[in-house]
Structure 1
Amino acid sequence: MDKTQGSRTAVLVCQARAVAHGRLAPDRFDDPTASVLLRPEELVAVEQARSGVPPEGWGPRLEYEFLRATAEGLVPRTVAIDDAVRERTHPQVVILGAGLDGRAWRMPELAGTAVFEVDHPSSQQDKRQRAAALSSPAGKVTFVPVDFTADRLDDSLKAAGYRTGRPTTWIWEGVVPYLTRAEITATLRALAEASAPGSRLVVNYQSPSLVASLGRPAARAMRRLSRQPDPMAREPWRSAWTPAAMRELLAGQGYAVARDTDLLALAGALTMPVRGRRSLRSGRVLIADR
């Protein structure tokens, strides 16, 4: 990520949620905050994708298809994470790498909950500017700027009012693939040390996939050829985990895995149409408790 500006991947994810709102699994997925968090120039591609009419030209068509595919994967993972949060209503929720997440504003189940949004200072500054257009959040939102190259997560959270003695739901969505294995292990150790018994961890991660490993470089090459901006240029994937390896890693930190499901199976439970079956099969959502 470019440390002088917000995450471009966060914008892409928000655009995809806006594309899916009211269209994909409308009885289970709903995110009215997504379009509010986007700037006018970022909404242009969203409206094109929502129209269902492919644009002319290689570059615009590539962006159109990429947004539609991203939206397809975001719906099942978002629903699964939301359900995990509702199952155990803890007094604290910490969203790691919050980006342009809108849960604190769109989930009434978080009323009375202390929500801590953790992200890089530049991304968080961008989020706070955008979030000014949202209505009042359901719970109390505290922004916690953390530069993991210089700051300690536990110290930053405690300074923001986080209480280690209270059960907490930790949401780690759309971040793990961009971290090295050492960074993931260190973060999980910090979470375990800061979590009271009964706390819950919800992790979205990527399992090894030849399709994904070849597809992302191919998509980036096509963007360069079509002279389209690449939102992932500065945010490459750095790790993938088998379910067994992730389970073993979490067990070492005192977590018991309740369930670990791929996005394709989650999408099937929502009875939503799926085109990118191979892509969804490698994405996973894991829920673990202490």
Structure 2
Amino acid sequence: MKQASTASRTAVLVCQGRAAAHGRLVPDRFTDPVAERFLTPDEVRVVEQVRRADPPSDWRQRTAYEQVRACADVVVPRTVAIDDAVRGRPHDQVVDLGAGLDTRAWRMPELSRATLFEVDHPASQSDKRERAGDAPVLAGRLELVPVDFTHDDLDAALHGAGHNGAAPTTWVWEGVVPYLTRAEVTATADVLARRSAAGSRLVVNYQEPGVGAALGRLLLRAVSRLAGSPDPLAGEPRRSSWSAQTMARLLADHGLVVRRDDDLLTLAEQLAMPVTQRGSLRNGRVAVADVS
């Protein structure tokens, strides 16, 4: 998600988190050698500090450091779970909803025969094109689908980009649901259901209700105010949270059968990675659901 005329700060933070975690936290299960290429020199500087475990002494700079360090811990189990689910249902069509600075098209050889549709706000896509530059794409074909989920017609946009609703699709819905209202989430699920042939798969990352995320945002706002700088996430408020039960009902209402639904803390423990963000990991979830 993003503000009206600038690229998403959340997308940058998640990319920084992947770059900071690359080859460091669980190198046998998580790598993202492309993420750093999508970052500016200033953004990489913080990543390098996190990778060296070298927090800056200035408390204002320390805020950015802690954000990236915490994000790295969260994105690793999330990314591994989603990648595994995508590999487990290798369709010729993959749709990445709210792609942000996602790098799957550039780092997953398993997509070499697939068309990957990256759906995101036009401003975010323009920024991503500049950041990606001439980095080689591993996906068979990459299609950018400009959509603002709050008011654009996702169905028409996918149709116009060449998505075939009669063929199976793997849908990746990562890091977007919390920034949409329940009505917007349901409307997006309506489109997915109409465009999902038998055998299709949806991998959705969402947030359970909890005070941790809200308190974290309040703390970031307070620290930003003390530092005399704007809140970096002010334009990207959280708008919805879902329990595993309510998410399962939503998906069932749209013809999707949940195969598994795990919280990120459980996934992190399965990876035997060091856990420092227990609250954030416990509230984040990844569900895998299939169309029969």
Q: Is the 8 A contact 2:116 2:139 kept in 1?
A: no
Specify the SS of the correspondent of 1:259.
strand
Q: How do residues 84-123 of structure 1 correspond to structure 2 at under 5 angstroms?
A: 84-123=85-124
Q: Identify the residue that residue 220 of structure 1 maps to in structure 2.
A: 221
1:8-29 per-residue CA deviation (whole Å, 9 max, x = no partner) reads 1111111111110111111000
Distance 1:133 1:40, change over 3 A: farther
Q: How do residues 75-86 of structure 1 correspond to structure 2 at under 5 angstroms?
A: 75-86=76-87
Specify the SS of the correspondent of 1:218.
helix
Distance 1:189 1:92 in 2: 18
What is the Cα deviation at residue 77 of structure 1? 0.1
* 1:240 partnered with 2:236: no
* 1:39 partnered with 2:64: no
Distance 1:149 1:289 in 2: 25
- Paired letter, 2:115: A
Q: Which runs of 5+ in 1 are unaligned?
A: none
Q: Identify the residue that residue 125 of structure 1 maps to in structure 2.
A: 126
Distance 1:131 1:115 in 2: 16
What is the Cα deviation at residue 229 of structure 1? 4.5
Q: Identify the residue that residue 180 of structure 1 maps to in structure 2.
A: 181
What is the Cα deviation at residue 214 of structure 1? 1.9
Q: TM-score w.r.t. structure 2 length?
A: 0.97
Distance 2:229 2:23 in 1: 28
What is the Cα deviation at residue 205 of structure 1? 0.2
Specify the SS of the correspondent of 2:212.
helix
Specify the SS of the correspondent of 1:10.
helix
Distance 1:21 1:228 in 2: 29
Q: Is the 8 A contact 2:17 2:71 kept in 1?
A: yes
Q: Identify the residue that residue 205 of structure 1 maps to in structure 2.
A: 206
Q: Is the 8 A contact 2:120 2:146 kept in 1?
A: yes
10-19 vs 150-159, greater mean Cα deviation: 150-159
What is the Cα deviation at residue 228 of structure 1? 4.2
Q: Identify the residue that residue 193 of structure 2 maps to in structure 1.
A: 192
The size of the alignment, in residue pairs, is 290
Specify the SS of the correspondent of 2:164.
coil
Q: Which runs of 5+ in 2 are unaligned?
A: none
Distance 1:130 1:247 in 2: 36
Distance 2:250 2:137 in 1: 38
Q: Is the 8 A contact 2:77 2:271 kept in 1?
A: yes
* 1:29 partnered with 2:30: yes
1:98-132 per-residue CA deviation (whole Å, 9 max, x = no partner) reads 00000011001101101000001111111111112
1:259-284 per-residue CA deviation (whole Å, 9 max, x = no partner) reads 00000000001100011112210000
Superposed CA RMSD in Å reads 1.1
Specify the SS of the correspondent of 1:170.
strand
- Paired letter, 1:174: G
Distance 2:66 2:6 in 1: 26
Q: Identify the residue that residue 55 of structure 2 maps to in structure 1.
A: 54
* 1:66 partnered with 2:67: yes
Distance 1:230 1:168 in 2: 37
Specify the SS of the correspondent of 1:6.
coil
Q: TM-score w.r.t. structure 1 length?
A: 0.97
- Paired letter, 2:259: A
Distance 1:77 1:131, change over 3 A: same
Q: Identify the residue that residue 9 of structure 2 maps to in structure 1.
A: 8
Q: Is the 8 A contact 1:59 1:227 kept in 2?
A: no
What is the Cα deviation at residue 223 of structure 1? 2.0
Q: Identify the residue that residue 153 of structure 2 maps to in structure 1.
A: 152
- Paired letter, 1:278: G
Specify the SS of the correspondent of 2:205.
strand
Q: Is the 8 A contact 2:120 2:145 kept in 1?
A: yes
Percent identity for Structure 1 against Structure 2: 60
What is the Cα deviation at residue 54 of structure 1? 1.3
What is the Cα deviation at residue 57 of structure 1? 1.3
Q: Identify the residue that residue 162 of structure 2 maps to in structure 1.
A: 161
What is the Cα deviation at residue 149 of structure 1? 4.2
